[in-house]
Each structure stands twice: as C-alpha cells, then as structure tokens.
Amino acid sequence: MTGGASVRLGYRPDIDGLRAVSILLVVGFHAGFDALAGGYVGVDVFFVISGFLITSLLIAEQERTSRISLRDFYARRARRLLPLAFLTILCTLVAGYALAVPLRRSELIRDAIASSLYFANWRFAGQSVAYSDSEVTESLFLHFWSLSVEEQFYAVWPLLVVGAVAVARKRGWGARPVLGFAIGGVSAMSLAVSVIASYHSPDAYYFTHTRIWELGVGAGLAIAGQRMPILRRGPAEALAAAGLGMIVAAALVYDDTTVFPGYTALLPVLGCAAVIVAGHSQRGLIRRLLGASPMTYIGRLSYAWYLWHWPAVGLAALAARRLGYEPNPTLVLGAVAVSFGAAAASHHLVEQPIRHSQGLARRPSRALAMAACLTTLPVFVGVTLDATRPETAVAAAEGASAGEASSTVAMTPEEAAADEVTMQAPECHSRFPEVDVSPDCLYGDPDGDPTVVLVGDSHAQHWLPALDAGARSRGWRVLAWTKSSCTPIDVPLRNDRLEREYRECYEWRERVHEAVASLGGADVVVVADSYRYTEMMIGPDGESVEPARAAELWKEGAARTFEAYEDTAGVVVLLRDTPWAHRSIPECLSEDPSTPGRCSFSLDGRIHLDEAFVGAELEAAPASVEVVDMTDAVCETDPCQVVTSEGVIKYRDSHHLTQTFSRRLADALMERLEDVAGAAATVRGG
C-alpha cells in the first residue's frame, strides 16, 4: 500500500508486481469472490513489503550520510501518504453522511476521525465482527485498520533504527547486526503474542503488536540487503514460484474459519519474503511477469485503489438500499471498477504531484505543516457534522387512549440503540472468550424466596430488567447468568466472531450447572435463547450439519439440558424467543421519527424463526418443563407496533428489547411465571 524503492537496492519492478497481486487478492475478497475467501492475506503481503522498503530507505540513508533525519523521514511519509488518505476520508465522510441512516452517522463520524488520526485498528478492535466476516456497510472506514498499523509502525520504527545505530556506534559494532538483533527480538515477541492472542481474542486481527512481526520480516530482508543470496536462474525461479504459490494458496484455502493472524499468517508472509529474495537475483520468469507493465501499473496504484475500493462498494450498497434494493454482484463489480478509475485519477492528479513536489521536498517543514492540516481537517469536519446532527425524538405510537400522554416523547432512536441491559457486574454477562459465573449476580430481592435463575444468551439477558423489577416487587431472589451467542442447550457450536469452535460456551454451561447445584437447588430455572443457532451448529467432528441433522442434535441436547436442570430445580421454564423485526428499529425510526408506524412489522414469519428447533425442544421437554411465550406482550397487535403509546421504543436493534421496554413487561412476565410454576412464590415451602 505504501512504497518508494530502496536507494541501495534500486527500483524493483517485481515488488510493484507483488503489490499488484496483493491488491487484487484484497479487492477480490472484498468483492465477494468465493474462490478468494482468504484474499485478506494480501494485507499481510503489503506489511512485508512496507517493512522491507521503509527499512531499506532508513539503512541506505544512514550508510550514505552517517545519520538518519527523522524530520525528513516523516516529511517524506507525509507527502506520500496523507494527501490521498485525506481526500478519501473526506469524500467518504461527506458521501457516507448523506447516504447513511441518521442513526449511523455518529459512528461514521467517529470512524472517520479514528482513521484520520490513525488509530482505527484500535477503534475497530472489540467493535466489529471478525474482519473476514464484516459487511462493508458496517463501517466505510474499516480498511483503515491496516493503514493505522502501518502508520504506528512508521512512528516507532525509525526511532528503533536510530537507537540501534547509536548503540552500535557507541560499542564499535556493525549497525546491521545490532539492528538485526533488535528487530529480530521484537518480531519474535510479536509472533509469539500473535499466535497466542489469535486463539483467545478475535480482536487480535486488528492489534498492532500481533502484526509488527510481519513488517519485521520485511525489515529483516532489508537489513540483509546486498548480503541476500544471488541465486542462479533455476533456484531463483523455484523460490519465486514457491513464494507466489504460498501467497495464492493462502488466499484460496483460508476463509473465515481460519484462526488468523497467528501462525497461519506465516504462509503468505514467508511466501512474500521468498519472492523478494528470489527477485534480488534479477533472474527468472516470475520476476519478469511481476515486473510486466500491467502489473507494475496496478502495483503503483495499489495504495490509491486500496483506499478507494472499500468505500466505493459500501457507498454503492448504501445508495442501493436507499432506493429500496439489496446490493448484488453486478453492483459490487461496478463499484470496484469505479474505484479503480478513482484510484487512477487520484494517483496521477493528487498522489504523484504532491509526492514529487520539489517545494515540499526542499522544505520538510512545509510537508509536516501540510500533514498537520490534512490530519486535522477531517477531524474538524467530523466534529462539526456531529455537533450539528439533530437528535429528533420519536413520536408516541398512534392509538393511545385519551388518558395517556400520546404526544409525550420518551426516547430518541440514539437512546434506544444504547439502551442495553445494565448488569450487576461485567462478569454477569460473559462475552465471547469469557466463562465467568459469579455468585454476586443477584437481582430482585437478594434475601427473598423463592430463588429464580435466568440462564441463556443475550436474548435471555434482555428479559432481566423485567425479571428484576417483577421479582423485586414480589420478594423473589434472582440470579442471572448469561453469555453472548451461547445457547444453554447442550449442543456443539461454532462462533463466527472467534472463528472456531465455541469451547468457552461449553465450559460456561458446565459452570452454570455447578453454580445452580451449589445453591442447594433453585425453585425456578428460566432457560432462554435466540434463534440462528441453525447457522452455528456443528457436528461431533466440527463439521457443519444439514438442517434435519441440526434439529436432531438440538433435540438430543435439549433432553440433556432439561434433565440436568430438573435434578437441581423445582421448575424449568422454557422462555420462547421474541419476534424479530425486519430491520434495526432505531435505524428505521431515525429516518423519520415523526411517523413510527412506518417501522411496524408483520408478525407473519417473524415469530419462533427456528420452528424445527422449537418443535425439537417441545418433543424433548418432559412434562415438568413449562413453556412461556411473551409474543403477545411484546407485540399486542399485528403489525407489531415498535413504539409504545408513551413513546418507549421496544427494540434497540432488530431483535433485542430495550432495557426500558423490558422493565415495563415486568408484571406480564411475572404473572406467567407464577402461573406455570404453580404459585412459585411458595414453591420452596410447599
């Protein structure tokens, strides 16, 4: 994505060709080509190239002048990178602001600011789904994560080089060996962290410290410099072919199930290193093919194309949805073609003139001043847009009785989207890699009787405000243990966010069973979950399963789950899932808050969406398992009104209830629990 040939090694057309391979893999992956499900490895190739070229420049300057000017280095980077990044960020921000639904504009602005200041990777860590699973409209700036990693590298790497050279000079040692030792140590630690972190956190994909080793591999090649072996034509050809094959193989074989980066990133990274080493010999067909004019031209455009292709696809998708259409492959290919044209135009009209400006080159201070302006201007535009963005409250639902304040505004779409359940402690709702089951997750009346335990995923969690409020008024004691995307039903699952088998879910289930047993028995155990586990189910060997087989496994797992809870609970309640809206309700309401009725949705096909699983559970449930369905309390009419007569928005997205609305369902939920539990308030006393 970045570049400039090494002064010492001269221009390497094959490296521009290698950039072309990388950008074609990345664009193909983002365009949705199934054959390139692992095309994201093109970014790793970019990292190696960047490490090689930047370190080559620094070493060449040090050996030519006996010093490294940090001012000149940062000025060169500013001329090379910032003008085009500024143009892309500003255009994407303005166009995205116009096309995005109002509720998404605040996130868009924050993404733009993070990208402009080059900490986008840390912003996206912990926010997005796995990068290999991300939809382009989730953030028009998601691709800036890799540019942020590179900029952070550029900020620190020259200091490491200067420090290593200073140590070598003081000790009378050679600069290259000292620098190699320093970079080797940093890279080894980074690789170790990458391997470990990738298995424990999906956010490791975006971390700077899990990627430094990839840039370090390129830097190591630069340190080797002219000491890289000069291979004969046959070995050079074989090495280049093997390296290119490793890159392409990773792109073809890897997919969203691959734990990445970790050790799997070694395949494309070492493949890139092999191509660079082989090309040093200046022999071979692969080197000539990579150095051919079409490849070098695409390579020179790679930075610009990388910047433009992702927002082009995203903006096209947003425009299509504004017009009532869903994006299709033809639209995506058209957007990719437009992005290539934008890349070519901006490369020739913006990137190259500023990069080769003699005035800026002679006066590095001017380049640095330009950098400050180009960095802060998108921030200023974003802050201004955010400050002037209206937050319009939603009107109350039509049909309120005369005694109700039907014109009273209770919530804005922004408030609804943020109205998540407040837990007693963070460990009371375990996120993906967590398995916490704390005895302190007490709600209702902590000293009350009977004891109710709520178990399930986030769809169990969104009933907690109702259960808490209802139990408090009735003197019931409640413990709540929930976990993201983890059904309490004993079935094997794959987690897309972790990109592997969801082992943490299994451990969490076991801990919940142990915790319930340690209570000496619970009077009522409420089991609840979402639908969509059809997509997450796997077989005993980790393979995906057909729907019929999934239903069979679900029935077997439900039987085991109910049996386990029956041994420690007076009553087991199966709480049915709530209706799913057709789209995010806060987003829909933000488009026109004055007419909430337009966001209502038909219940037809939106209730109990996994019918096969519902049937399997009912077949597996013994007579002592009671079923509670709150659909008619959530949606009193059909179509389902998404705003109450008091102006309370029911959903914080398309399927999770807002905490405020859930709390208002307390009496309805408790009455049904009392009914099915057979006067649950006196269960323990019999």
Between 496 and 159, where is the model more confident? 159
Q: Are residues 353 and 478 in the same domain?
A: no
Q: Tell me the average pLDDT across 430-456.
A: 88
What sign results for the dihedral spanned by CA atoms 64, 68, 71, 77? positive
Alpha helices in 125-265 (DSSP H): 144-171, 175-200, 212-224, 233-253
Q: Tell me the average pLDDT across 385-410.
A: 56
Token match 């802050």: residue? 383
- Supply the pLDDT for residue 498: 77
- Supply the pLDDT for residue 395: 63
Domain assignment of residue 376, yes or no = yes
pLDDT band at 130 (very low <50, low <70, confident <90, very high): low
Q: Tell me the average pLDDT across 97-111.
A: 91
Domain assignment of residue 642, yes or no = no
pLDDT band at 2 (very low <50, low <70, confident <90, very high): low
- Return the amino acid letter for 306: Y
Residue 212 has pLDDT above 90, yes or no: yes
Between 398 and 141, where is the model more confident? 141
Between 336 and 325, where is the model more confident? 336
CB 595 within 8 A of CB 641: no
Which residue range(s) make up the domain with 28? 13-387
Q: Are residues 361 and 426 in the same domain?
A: no
Buried-state track 269-279, b at ≥16 Cβ within 10 A, e below 16: bbbbbbbbbbb
Q: Are residues 32 and 137 in the same domain?
A: yes
Domain assignment of residue 217, yes or no = yes
SS3 555: helix
Distance CA 607, CA 42 (A): 42
Q: Tell me the average pLDDT across 232-241.
A: 88
Q: Are residues 382 and 430 in the same domain?
A: no
Distance CA 633, CA 528 (A): 16
Residues 6 or more apart whose CB falls under 8 angstroms from that of 177 comprise 168
Q: Are residues 382 and 428 in the same domain?
A: no
Which among 401, 415, 457, 480 has a CA at the least distance from the CA of 650?
Answer: 415
- Supply the pLDDT for residue 133: 52
Q: Tell me the average pLDDT across 102-112.
A: 91
- Supply the pLDDT for residue 40: 94
- Supply the pLDDT for residue 264: 95
Q: Are residues 379 and 478 in the same domain?
A: no
Distance CA 454, CA 575 (A): 10
Angle between helices 212-224 and 42-65 (to 10 degrees): 40
Indicate the pTM of the whole model. Answer: 0.84
Q: Are residues 345 and 464 in the same domain?
A: no
For the chain, the distance separating the N- and C-terminal CA atoms, rounded to the nearest angstrom, is: 72
pLDDT digits (tens, 9 = 90+) for 54-83: 999 888 888 888 888 889 899 988 888 999
Burial of 530 (0-12, 13-18, 19+ CB in 10 A): buried
- Supply the pLDDT for residue 93: 95
Highest mean pLDDT among 203-212, 280-289, 490-499: 203-212
Angle between helices 70-99 and 144-171 (to 10 degrees): 170
Instruction: Measure Cα distances from 247 to 32, 291, 568, 620, 622 in Å.
Output: 18, 17, 54, 49, 54
Q: Are residues 556 and 613 in the same domain?
A: yes
Whats the size of the chain, residue-wise?
Answer: 686
- Supply the pLDDT for residue 134: 55
Q: Tell me the average pLDDT across 297-311.
A: 96
Tally of structural domains, the chain: 2
CATH number at residue 530: 3.40.50.2300
Highest mean pLDDT among 338-352, 361-375, 398-412, 509-523: 338-352
Q: Are residues 312 and 376 in the same domain?
A: yes
Domain assignment of residue 397, yes or no = no
Domain assignment of residue 453, yes or no = yes
pLDDT band at 214 (very low <50, low <70, confident <90, very high): very high
Domain assignment of residue 404, yes or no = no
CB 350 within 8 A of CB 87: yes
Residue 407 has pLDDT above 80, yes or no: no
Instruction: Measure Cα distances from 609 to 191, 207, 547 in Å.
Output: 43, 37, 13
- Supply the pLDDT for residue 1: 63
Residue 623 has pLDDT above 80, yes or no: no
Instruction: Measure Cα distances from 26 to 90, 224, 251, 486 in Å.
Output: 23, 29, 9, 32
Domain assignment of residue 587, yes or no = no
Distance CA 666, CA 633 (A): 10
Pairing of strands 429-430, 442-444: unpaired
Pairing of strands 477-483, 442-444: antiparallel
Lowest mean per-residue pLDDT among 47-56, 151-160, 226-235, 507-516: 226-235
- Supply the pLDDT for residue 679: 43
SS3 657: strand
SS3 477: strand
Q: Are residues 28 and 118 in the same domain?
A: yes
394 secondary structure, DSSP code: P
Distance CA 216, CA 204 (A): 17
pLDDT band at 49 (very low <50, low <70, confident <90, very high): very high
Domain boundary among 341, 361, 387: 387
Distance CA 193, CA 211 (A): 9
pLDDT digits (tens, 9 = 90+) for 175-185: 888 888 889 99
Q: Tell me the average pLDDT across 460-486.
A: 94
Between 345 and 435, where is the model more confident? 345
Determine the number of helices (DSSP H) and then strands (DSSP E) in the chain: 28, 9
Is the bond preceding 488 in cis, omega lying within 30 degrees of 0? no
pLDDT digits (tens, 9 = 90+) for 553-577: 889 998 999 888 887 888 889 899 9
Q: Are residues 430 and 367 in the same domain?
A: no
Q: Are residues 177 and 295 in the same domain?
A: yes
Lowest mean per-residue pLDDT among 20-34, 222-236, 321-335, 631-645: 222-236
Lowest mean per-residue pLDDT among 327-336, 386-395, 594-603: 386-395
Domain boundary among 387, 406, 439: 387
Between 624 and 254, where is the model more confident? 254
Residue 148 has pLDDT above 80, yes or no: yes
Measured at the alpha carbon of residue 36, what is the angle toward residues 30 and 39, in degrees to the nearest 5? 65
